[in-house]
Amino acid sequence: MHLIFMGPPGAGKGTQAQLLSALWKIPHISTGDILRACVVAKTDLGQKAQSYMDRGELVPDELLMDIVQERMNQSDARAGWILDGFPRTVAQAAFFDKLLCEVGGGVSSSGKDCDLRAVNLDVPDNILVARLLSRGRQDDNEETIRRRLQVYREQTEPLIEFYRNREQLVAVDGDRAMESVTAQLQQALSGDS
């Protein structure tokens, strides 16, 4: 199973990806977690990424692509994965197609005849802001959150149409109890497991 979890910041992508990763015994690959670890460790990548993250902007494609490629080449990702936080633009999705062919993810470059599914968790903005403020992360103040939502709408939302056109989109209402969202995801994806 190869899943991409999409949705605005605070939609519950990470939470749902962790739950399903444990249930289906496939790795949850979070580019956000990897980036935050790099920032804490003060790696070169972390220092480069920090300035973008502090402004609520997306980390440049080149940095994310290097991270994703390195992670997809690890042995635990061969049987399947849940990717959270990448791709975030149509350009990244096109790169990702090429990468999947190279690492043998069971996906053709055209996206046909593959088990890739893009799961979109949809949540209203006012709920997202409240959720993100309650997390208490240093980078989650209201101004930065609203900027991140604006960036998401401009740069990431076009992916919904990209994957819908390829008949790979699974849309889920993320504005419900966590258990209810998990159950809906399991039902929607059960034919793919």
Residue 78 annotated in active site: no
- Read off the DSSP letter of residue 57: P
150 is in an annotated binding site: no
Which tokens sit at 130? Answer: 């409240």
- CA 17 – CA 15 distance, rounded (Å): 5
CA 152 from centroid of its chain's CA atoms: 12
57 is in an annotated binding site: yes
- Catalytic position from the list 71, 88, 117, 131: 88
CB 9 within 8 A of CB 128: yes
55 is in an annotated binding site: no
- Catalytic position from the list 112, 148, 153, 166: 148
- Catalytic position from the list 98, 112, 137, 153: 137
164 is in an annotated binding site: no
88 is in an annotated binding site: yes
Sign for the CA dihedral angle at 73, 119, 111, 187 comes to positive
Which tokens sit at 84? Answer: 């959270």
Residue 71 annotated in active site: no
85 is in an annotated binding site: yes
Residue 135 annotated in active site: yes
- Catalytic position from the list 13, 71, 117, 131: 13
Which tokens sit at 188? Answer: 């929607």
153 is in an annotated binding site: no
45 is in an annotated binding site: no
59 is in an annotated binding site: yes
Residue 147 annotated in active site: no
- Catalytic position from the list 42, 135, 146, 164: 135
87 is in an annotated binding site: yes
Three-state helix/strand/coil letters over 139-182: CCCHHHHHHHHHHHHHHHCHHHHHHHHCCCEEEEECCCCHHHHH
Residue 153 annotated in active site: no
Residue whose entry in the numeric block shows the structure tokens 């939302």: 157
58 is in an annotated binding site: yes
Q: Catalytic residue positions?
A: 13, 88, 135, 137, 148
Please report, in range form, the residues annotated as the binding site for ATP: 10-15, 135, 176
Please report, in range form, the residues annotated as the binding site: 10-15, 31, 36, 57-59, 85-88, 92, 135, 137, 148, 176
Please report, in range form, the residues annotated as the binding site for AMP: 31, 36, 57-59, 85-88, 92, 137, 148
